[in-house]
Amino acid sequence: MGENKRRMLAGDWYLPDDPELLADTVRRIDLCAAYNRTGPAGPRTAERRAVLRELFGSLGEDVRIRPPFHCDFGYHIRIGARTFVNFNAVFLDAGPITVGSDVQIGPNVQLLTPTHELAPERRRAGWEKAEPVTIGDNVWLGGGVIVCPGASVGADTVVGAGAVVTRDLPPGVLAVGNPARVVRKLR
């Protein structure tokens, strides 16, 4: 394994312009394209599931993802059973993305692990790292929600449409806005 991939997997600063990471990107491009071509569920459900099993690090039973779906690598994504992901999801998985079971993800949701240098010289040089994103069991992310690097959403939480999650949200709450803020407890 090359230095940049090792650093990326360890959560350290790395340079993504690397032949080994490019090969991983080509793999993802091919698998996402194959998945997105399968169209609606039905007769091709087994084919769709086989592509997702190859793309993701782990895939629970009865997961439904509506194409188009986009990701960085795929192998950092773990999705629990009975989760539903609506159209146009973007999971940038330079770092781990863990989605629990029974999660509902609205259209145009983005789960983002990459972060970039604040210092302009290093940012121009291309340095980045990734911070994990975790979505607990039985969460509902409304349409257009963005979950930023390093943020977690606790079990049974609902995040309103268009919210931007910049820090951890506790379990069992309703959160809305930019940045997302808890407006009430749900349990």
The 10 Å Cβ neighbour count of residue 112 is 23
First to last CA, the chain: 46
Q: Which residues are catalytic?
A: 116
Rounded CA gap, 67 and 170, in Å?
30
Q: What are phi and psi of 89, to 5 degrees?
A: -70, 145
Q: H-helix or E-strand containing 104?
A: strand 104-105
CA distances from 53 to 58, 88, 182 (A): 7, 19, 35
Q: What are phi and psi of 36, to 5 degrees?
A: -65, -20
Q: What are phi and psi of 34, to 5 degrees?
A: -60, -45
CA 16, 21, 23, 29: dihedral to nearest 10 degrees?
Answer: -70
The 10 Å Cβ neighbour count of residue 2 is 12
